[in-house]
Structure 1
Amino acid sequence: MGDVPVQPAHPLQDGHWRHRSLLPAATHKESGPTMGPAAPVGHAARTCRCPGVSGSLPARVHLLSGATLGMWLCLLLLMAACVPTSTSSPGIKGRVTRSALEYGRRFGLDLLRSLLQKEHDVNLQGSYRAPFLGRLNYTVPQIHIHELQMNDSTVDFAEDVGVQLTVDRARIQLSATWRAQLGAWQDSGSLQLRIRDLAVAVLLGLGADEQGQPSMWAAGCDARGTDLRLEFHQGQSWLYNLLVPLLQRTLRQQLNKQLCVEIQKGIGRLQDSLKNVRVSAQLDAFAAIDLSLLGQPGITKQHGDVDLKGEFFGVRGQWQSPFSAQPVELPELQEPMLLVAVTEFVANTAAFVYFTAGALRRNITAEMLPRRFPLKLNTESMGNFAPQLQQHFPSRPVELHLWARRQPLLSCHPNALHGAFFGSAEAFVVLPNATRVPAFLLNIDANVTGKPTIAGNRLGGTVGLKSLNVMQVMSYVGPLQVEKLENMLKFGLWLFGVPWANKRLHPGIPLPTPHGITLLHPRLSLHKGFMLITTDLQYKP
């Protein structure tokens, strides 16, 4: 069928939009009706209109069959059309390329064949008024699809609208058992049905509601089929085969008429399932993340971009974050199926929420430190830099209370991630009656660097200590030798702390991917202000 230019949409009185024919006009014998969008609730009432729906579509778009399931992996990243314009930048920016659409097409066709090429209990019932004979009632309890060929199919982006799926010259061959009754006379047998030139074009609109919830609707549909053959076997088949020319015409008309209607119903069911998609997720008792869609996507001929808010917020209360996301420019890459940019805004809002919620606190006891750590949590060891401590409290355990006095800050640079931590540490002497007596208070600031890594579906990395500064704030046990303590802490962190952290980071943490999705040949790179992951995708049910 080749490339098919999409004609401009035209508004109807009911506020919906209908596209003109998506298939070439020359092939429109007994073609089904072009279908208008099953617009999501609230779309008609808004003043927002999808660019390219209210005007012309300058691009030529391609076709794919009803393999919508196979495209699902890609479509979730594109559903951000027709929402009020937002001036905020995203915390997470995703891009789906044409390579992903092509993978979805091939996977969808394979999935569709595996689902359909088998026996199906359908229990179809109906009637047909035959000339001179009266009403013929029939039942088709079971069908078996033997052949399903839809290789001549394409899928492409429809600029500013969504995705267009098309199939041309599809072939379907099936057999079925049947029972018929004409008055008091009954009969049964089998039939064979062959369709050789079925063509379907579906324009799938992708968007979001005011809450950033993903949505989809049928922005256009066209279907036609002319080469249909029907043949009866067994029973009084010679009689029914005399009526085949009339039956074929009726079946062809119903196929062209109902196919888009059924496709619209299927898209409607998908839209209903999208209503249950959560755009925020609680991660623990302190924080949740907002992944709602921002603005409408930038859909071009080559790719579709989607913006996610990507902001952490508190579970126990909403606090105004002092951070704002900066614009992200994704590189123009054709090969990877998926590009995802995670900005430093995401990490900094997470740090803000945990800091504000009071979650960045920890009490350290002697049992929690490695046995070979150079600094022991007792008055004898700490007397090396606090001489009067051992004199006032001989041979007593010490407990450290650590907390962040300011929120940590993360910045992303092309060479590494840089983190700044601002902490305080108060030492308490534990008396025999379990009373804790304050000894001294320190401020401890650290700068670290990190190199993230990715392998499969897991994100890992390494860290290094760049600098450590210790400052005395208050002492109840006389003067402290702060420089000596600082050197001891640096040595302990270099010898034990950093290797321990890297050992924990090396296996990585699983990335939040949908069930069955594997990242193929993922790559991670650092840029000014964001971390970029590029990858292909593989799906195994």
Structure 2
Amino acid sequence: MKVCGLLFLLSLFTPWLDAKPGIKVKITQKGLDYGKQLGIDFLEQRLKEQTFANVSGQETFGFTGADYTISEIKVNAVEFPNASVSLIPGTGIKLEIKDAAAAVTAHWRADNKIKGRQPPVYGTLSPLEIGNSGKMSVLISHISLAAVVSVSQDNAGHAVLLLESCKGKVDRMHIELDQDTSWLYKYFANHLEKPACDSLSNNMCPFIGSEIEKINAELREHKVQAQIDSFAQVDYSLVNSPVISSTSINFDIKGTVSPVGNDLETPFKPAPFSIPEEINSMLHIGISEYFLQSASLVYYASGAFDVSIAKELSSYFRLTTNSFGTIIPKIARSFKTPCPVILDLKPTAAPVIRLHNGSAVLEIAGSMEVLVVLKNSTTRSMFTLNIAARTHVALNIFEQKLIPSLCLDR
């Protein structure tokens, strides 16, 4: 009975396990290095815009101490001189930051706490009651962080980031209070530097974790289907979890084109294909015949390939009944006064697209109806041609543009 249950579960998961992508995306180490700089710029901006909660606590030293509150915390500058991103095969992406630094400003307030006896009074003020609030500047240096983030997928096909491990440390901090602040408060601020370093060290990884959760929330909000135009949409959900090697991270994307608002069940399935192992580029995108064929089927079914050629050609040449005089003399003789001609082109089947090394082959089956426009503006069909054409398309990159060259084979 247990064996039957196991076989039943395997049968349910077989379609998922056998899922093949229509599009592949490969990000190399070179691409990660470029993304690292974008990520650092993003993190710097995020830290500068971040609104931090007030920090309150109590600190004692010797016979005295104070309750303190630090508010209006603002990061003015951040530096990441030594940052690296590397791949851990089968695990995830490792981020390392060394010798980072930050400059922070804030407002502080402290209320004195004297242990055991009342403070000496000078006039009407105790020493700790002099200058018990003001501005502060903090220089944080020797910040290090090592974190490993894995990449997987959720049930909807979104990418999901997970913080697998994290270790952060802040070694040095220098707190500077206003010049007119009491020396005792300045001494108290120096006493706070060590516990503040420990607090920051303990909160670095939770901060990274919360930022990753924000990214995941943004990823979940994005639809896995994008509309191409009024006819078609493409499904770019992940068909399996990304595969991470020592040189790249690979995403398998469904890549099915369907009519807008509908999921199309194609009569064909994607075939396995791979992207060459080449690491000099940052990004590789592999497009399969399945992707192109599903697009061809959608556009054919929607009538997007149906073309009526009339005024579109008038700027290049004027097509009239006399134009057919050398091909079909009877047409020219039937109309003493030349009349305009319209060509209605319609495919009789979805164009077939096959990919080969260096080029793509396009096979088109269709019909061309030739109509004459009479004096009363009505049209009359003269004849119809059935067309079977085979072309090949070569793709070239010129001045950062993808240029297709179309050649008719037969």
TM-score by length of 1: 0.63
Between structures 1 and 2, the one with greater helix share: 2
Shift of 1:112: 4.7
2:80 partner letter: M
Shift of 1:252: 2.7
Shift of 1:406: 1.5
The residue number in structure 1 matching 2:389 is: 446
Confirm or deny: 8 A CA contact 1:166 1:202 kept in the other structure.
Answer: yes
Are residues 453 and 137 of structure 1, via their aligned partners in 2, closer, same or farther at CA, if it must alter by over 3 Å?
same
Shift of 1:298: 1.6
Matched, 1:430 2:373: yes
Q: What is the alpha-carbon distance in structure 2 between the residues aligned to residue 386 and residue 316 of structure 1? A: 46
The residue number in structure 1 matching 2:72 is: 141
Confirm or deny: 8 A CA contact 1:119 1:145 kept in the other structure.
Answer: no
Give the secondary-structure state (helix, strand or coil) at the position aligned to 1:331.
coil
Matched, 1:382 2:382: no
The residue number in structure 2 matching 1:274 is: 219
Confirm or deny: 8 A CA contact 2:75 2:102 kept in the other structure.
Answer: no
Shift of 1:229: 4.1
Give the secondary-structure state (helix, strand or coil) at the position aligned to 1:400.
strand
1:385 partner letter: I
2:142 partner letter: D
The residue number in structure 2 matching 1:480 is: none
The residue number in structure 2 matching 1:531 is: none
Confirm or deny: 8 A CA contact 1:100 1:337 kept in the other structure.
Answer: yes
Question: Which runs of 5 or more residues in structure 2 are unaligned?
Answer: 1-8, 10-14, 114-124
Q: What is the alpha-carbon distance in structure 2 between the residues aligned to residue 295 and residue 97 of structure 1? A: 19
1:426 partner letter: E
The residue number in structure 2 matching 1:460 is: 403
Q: What is the alpha-carbon distance in structure 1 between the residues aligned to residue 264 and residue 45 of structure 2? A: 51
Are residues 408 and 257 of structure 1, via their aligned partners in 2, closer, same or farther at CA, if it must alter by over 3 Å?
same
Matched, 1:256 2:201: yes
1:285 partner letter: S
Shift of 1:341: 1.4
Are residues 393 and 291 of structure 1, via their aligned partners in 2, closer, same or farther at CA, if it must alter by over 3 Å?
same
Q: What is the alpha-carbon distance in structure 2 between the residues aligned to residue 172 and residue 122 of structure 1? A: 15
Confirm or deny: 8 A CA contact 2:358 2:395 kept in the other structure.
Answer: no
Are residues 269 and 456 of structure 1, via their aligned partners in 2, closer, same or farther at CA, if it must alter by over 3 Å?
farther
Are residues 456 and 279 of structure 1, via their aligned partners in 2, closer, same or farther at CA, if it must alter by over 3 Å?
farther
Shift of 1:424: 0.2
Shift of 1:173: 4.7
Are residues 454 and 323 of structure 1, via their aligned partners in 2, closer, same or farther at CA, if it must alter by over 3 Å?
farther
Q: What is the alpha-carbon distance in structure 2 between the residues aligned to residue 458 and residue 181 of structure 1? A: 66
2:312 partner letter: M
Confirm or deny: 8 A CA contact 1:190 1:234 kept in the other structure.
Answer: no
Confirm or deny: 8 A CA contact 1:90 1:327 kept in the other structure.
Answer: yes
1:14-413 correspondence to structure 2 within 5 Å: 85-109=16-40, 112=43, 124-130=54-60, 132-133=63-64, 135-141=66-72, 143=74, 145=76, 148-182=78-112, 185=129, 187-244=132-189, 246-315=191-260, 317-365=262-310, 367-370=311-314, 373=317, 377-395=319-337, 396-413=339-356
Q: Which whole-Å deviations, capped at 9, do the CAs of 1:439-486 have from their partners, x for residues lacking one?
A: 22210222222221224653222222222xxxxxxxxxxxxxxxxxxx
1:338 partner letter: L
Q: Which whole-Å deviations, capped at 9, do the CAs of 1:369-402 have from their partners, x for residues lacking one?
A: 25665xx643333243334334555434332221
Confirm or deny: 8 A CA contact 1:448 1:466 kept in the other structure.
Answer: yes
Are residues 409 and 299 of structure 1, via their aligned partners in 2, closer, same or farther at CA, if it must alter by over 3 Å?
same
Q: What is the alpha-carbon distance in structure 1 between the residues aligned to residue 50 and residue 305 of structure 2? A: 58
2:330 partner letter: Q
Are residues 426 and 126 of structure 1, via their aligned partners in 2, closer, same or farther at CA, if it must alter by over 3 Å?
same
Q: What is the alpha-carbon distance in structure 2 between the residues aligned to residue 342 and residue 167 of structure 1? A: 36
Confirm or deny: 8 A CA contact 2:21 2:270 kept in the other structure.
Answer: yes
Shift of 1:197: 3.3
Are residues 106 and 315 of structure 1, via their aligned partners in 2, closer, same or farther at CA, if it must alter by over 3 Å?
closer
The residue number in structure 2 matching 1:521 is: none
Are residues 377 and 197 of structure 1, via their aligned partners in 2, closer, same or farther at CA, if it must alter by over 3 Å?
closer
Shift of 1:352: 1.0
Say which one has the larger Rg.
2
Are residues 256 and 456 of structure 1, via their aligned partners in 2, closer, same or farther at CA, if it must alter by over 3 Å?
farther
Equivalent pairs, count: 381
Moved over 6 A (4+): 118-121
Shift of 1:295: 0.9
Q: What is the alpha-carbon distance in structure 1 between the residues aligned to residue 221 and residue 325 of structure 2? A: 60
Shift of 1:303: 0.9
Q: Which whole-Å deviations, capped at 9, do the CAs of 1:415-459 have from their partners, x for residues lacking one?
A: 422211111012223333333332222102222222212246532
Are residues 383 and 316 of structure 1, via their aligned partners in 2, closer, same or farther at CA, if it must alter by over 3 Å?
farther
Q: Which whole-Å deviations, capped at 9, do the CAs of 1:13-49 have from their partners, x for residues lacking one?
A: xxxxxxxxxxxxxxxxxxxxxxxxxxxxxxxxxx9xx
Question: Which runs of 5 or more residues in structure 1 are unaligned?
Answer: 1-46, 48-83, 468-541
Shift of 1:168: 2.8
Aligned CA-pair RMSD: 3.2
Q: What is the alpha-carbon distance in structure 2 between the residues aligned to residue 437 and residue 252 of structure 1? A: 87
Identity of aligned residues (%): 27
Confirm or deny: 8 A CA contact 1:122 1:143 kept in the other structure.
Answer: yes
Confirm or deny: 8 A CA contact 2:66 2:110 kept in the other structure.
Answer: no
Give the secondary-structure state (helix, strand or coil) at the position aligned to 1:355.
helix
2:156 partner letter: Q
Confirm or deny: 8 A CA contact 1:287 1:312 kept in the other structure.
Answer: yes
Shift of 1:159: 2.6
Q: What is the alpha-carbon distance in structure 1 between the residues aligned to residue 312 and residue 292 of structure 2? A: 27
Are residues 175 and 422 of structure 1, via their aligned partners in 2, closer, same or farther at CA, if it must alter by over 3 Å?
same
Q: What is the alpha-carbon distance in structure 2 between the residues aligned to residue 177 and residue 456 of structure 1? A: 54
Are residues 143 and 420 of structure 1, via their aligned partners in 2, closer, same or farther at CA, if it must alter by over 3 Å?
closer
Are residues 102 and 364 of structure 1, via their aligned partners in 2, closer, same or farther at CA, if it must alter by over 3 Å?
closer
Shift of 1:404: 0.3
Shift of 1:189: 4.1
Are residues 424 and 224 of structure 1, via their aligned partners in 2, closer, same or farther at CA, if it must alter by over 3 Å?
same
